[in-house]
Chain A
């Protein structure tokens, strides 16, 4: 398998009044080319910070302490801002969580698309760019005649989300990153976005990296899943293994904690305890205070990754020191 994005031992911290908050604590992750990889985690687990670190879009108080991020063979953390700009959007496009905030309110959708294209390339005339945009808008099931001349506020939330996906594809990126693409949308609109992403993925064989807290959406879309908790990756496996044969106690309990639309409710229960504070995280395994299977070693040493069948899992249940 070819990995388009490789993250190695990434550590990222925020300077806050109370001290250093380690949001990403030694994360390694591979994103295979041509597949959809999902990064799942609850709010505050560091998934958005990881994304920001990968793209180097951190706020001023955010620092990357160590680690490497490779896009193909390029170490993104070593690039200058100017070199990085050539990669952002042209090679790696991002659809951010709140689509409505990603558009400039005084620019029409057509202007967004043309401006974005011209900022990176000058091989097409304005007409040709618009023509290309029309095709993309049709792929995302929007009517170009209606959308191109519209201002962002004239579109509904779902339409904006789809317009943003079209805009993200205008430069034919190699990797599309989606940050919570379906939250804040209605159920039906959400399913439309999912179907559309599936279609784009199949047609263009586009690699996607999906960051979300929504496990049902992951079940629907992803090929591979990485589960993140307390700034660390807990488990990585293909989607069926994650849902039917998860090894990490956190993954197992998380799946049991989702209220499902169908099936038995009696074995569903919340995970006892509360998510860890990243300001002073628990010693050893970050999940140990909530883990029903913890052993003496769990609060002492951070578990390394063990390979168990199809799973890669950071848990002392599957290996010795």
Chain B
């Protein structure tokens, strides 16, 4: 059962059209295919504007792709009948980045959770409803639950709010939760606790996760079972089991950001060797449909890179979209020589 594919994306492209007279297409996601199986954790890494949030919303069935299909247990999401769609809808939940914006400020914790518990657990009495709400709160670590029931979101810290957002996502017993930068606004001292909560959902209920982030360091929390997919300008450029990918990253972009990420150790971080890129800026508003998206910044780029989109190739257990994958220098961790 574990291997059942929940969501499958086949050659999904999404563009947004701008302009009234001369329409221009802004590509957010280009030709992405991926499979999410039961209990998977997919970490979607990329910088701002690379299309990772759009891809997350396509996976969640919130945005209809311009091209390609999104399958839910083999069924095309956008061809479902209304009744089917209604059943499918709650089985994918979203948790947003900003728990200050995603919770209704005029409702108490109880008022936020009770209607959902009522709908999905169908309690027989008010007492039973309250008991269920308390169970959920206890489960996400908002204890003692009595203390929290009548609190408004503004009484809660960022970490508590995000727990509440996860509690809300948990009630419909989803198969998949798409979490978009769920810890980037949480206090440093509490980030790990929110990540641990996600891990608990995954281990105890088999809920699959799509964890969207710009930060490989937090994604690494799931390294023992996660898949890492790296996005660059709308495309997935490298994907594979996280441990393998981080042990031997191939795509020059991944190497560059790994070498540029500071680590909390002064001796190591000051001596690591950074892979310099040709250009500091991401080309704006240019989507390269006919060349490698990374070619203008890539320190290794050759003629072919500017002429063709690199097809994804399997290399050392992961899939890399780079023309030069066989020619790249061996990866030496930039922090390895440092003492």
Q: CB within 8 Å of B: which residues of A?
A: 42-44, 141, 156-159, 186-192, 194-195, 213-217, 219-220, 239-240, 243, 253-255, 257-263, 265, 268-271, 274-275
Q: Which of B158, B260, B264, B284 has the most CB of A within 10 A?
A: B264
Partner among A239, A259, A269 whose Cβ is within 8 Å of the Cβ of B217: A259
**Closest chain A residue to B333, Cβ basis:** A262
**Closest chain B residue to A272, Cβ basis:** B193
**Interface size of B as a range:** 35 or more
A187-B220 contact, Cβ under 8 Å, with A257-B189, A275-B187: no
Are B262 and A217 touching (Cβ within 8 A)?
yes
Q: Please, how many angstroms separate the alpha-carbon atoms of A261 and B272 in the complex? A: 13
A254-B188 contact, Cβ under 8 Å, with A215-B264, A270-B193: yes
- B48 at interface by CB-CB < 8 Å: yes
Q: Please, how many angstroms separate the alpha-carbon atoms of A255 and B335 in the complex? A: 19
Are B260 and A187 touching (Cβ within 8 A)?
yes
- B280 at interface by CB-CB < 8 Å: yes
Are B274 and A186 touching (Cβ within 8 A)?
no
Partner among B48, B258, B335 whose Cβ is within 8 Å of the Cβ of A186: B48
Partner among A159, A255, A269, A274 whose Cβ is within 8 Å of the Cβ of B159: A274
**Closest chain B residue to A242, Cβ basis:** B266
Given the complex, which residues of A lie within 8 Å of B260, measured CB to CB? 187-188, 190-191
Are A186 and B214 touching (Cβ within 8 A)?
yes
A42-B188 contact, Cβ under 8 Å, with A186-B214, A262-B333, A270-B196: yes
Q: Which of A156, A239, A274, A275 has the most CB of B within 10 A?
A: A274
Are A213 and B188 touching (Cβ within 8 A)?
yes
Report, nearest first, the 7 A-B pairs whose CB atoms are least far apart. A191-B260, A216-B262, A186-B47, A270-B193, A271-B189, A270-B192, A220-B262
Given the complex, which residues of B lie within 8 Å of A188, measured CB to CB? 47, 256-257, 260, 277, 280
**Closest chain A residue to B187, Cβ basis:** A42
Give chain B's interface secondary structure class.
Answer: helix
**Closest chain B residue to A240, Cβ basis:** B266
Are B220 and A265 touching (Cβ within 8 A)?
yes
Are A275 and B258 touching (Cβ within 8 A)?
no
Are A261 and B158 touching (Cβ within 8 A)?
no
- B4 at interface by CB-CB < 8 Å: no
Given the complex, which residues of A lie within 8 Å of B89, measured CB to CB? none
Partner among A186, A214, A261, A270 whose Cβ is within 8 Å of the Cβ of B190: A270
Q: Please, how many angstroms separate the alpha-carbon atoms of A214 and B215 in the complex? A: 12
Q: Please, how many angstroms separate the alpha-carbon atoms of A268 and B160 in the complex? A: 20
Partner among B190, B195, B277 whose Cβ is within 8 Å of the Cβ of A274: B190
Q: Please, how many angstroms separate the alpha-carbon atoms of A189 and B269 in the complex? A: 16
- B67 at interface by CB-CB < 8 Å: no
Are B187 and A43 touching (Cβ within 8 A)?
yes
Q: Please, how many angstroms separate the alpha-carbon atoms of A274 and B192 in the complex? A: 13
Q: Mark B171-199, 1 if CB is under 8 A from A, else 0.
A: 00000000000000001111111011000
Q: Other CB < 8 Å A-B pairs besides A141-B280, A259-B217, A270-B193, 7 of them?
A: A186-B48, A187-B47, A187-B260, A188-B280, A190-B262, A219-B263, A261-B263
Are A187 and B192 touching (Cβ within 8 A)?
no
- B135 at interface by CB-CB < 8 Å: no
Are A239 and B263 touching (Cβ within 8 A)?
no
A42-B267 contact, Cβ under 8 Å, with A156-B284, A259-B195: no
Given the complex, which residues of B lie within 8 Å of A42, measured CB to CB? 187-189
- Report the minimal beta-carbon distance from B240 to chain A, rounded to whole angstroms: 17
Are B266 and A274 touching (Cβ within 8 A)?
no
- Report the minimal beta-carbon distance from B153 to chain A, rounded to whole angstroms: 14
13 contacts between A and B (CB under 8 A): A42-B187, A189-B280, A191-B262, A213-B187, A214-B262, A219-B265, A243-B264, A258-B264, A261-B263, A262-B333, A265-B221, A274-B157, A275-B157
Given the complex, which residues of A lie within 8 Å of B217, measured CB to CB? 216, 258-261
Given the complex, which residues of B lie within 8 Å of A219, measured CB to CB? 262-266, 269-270
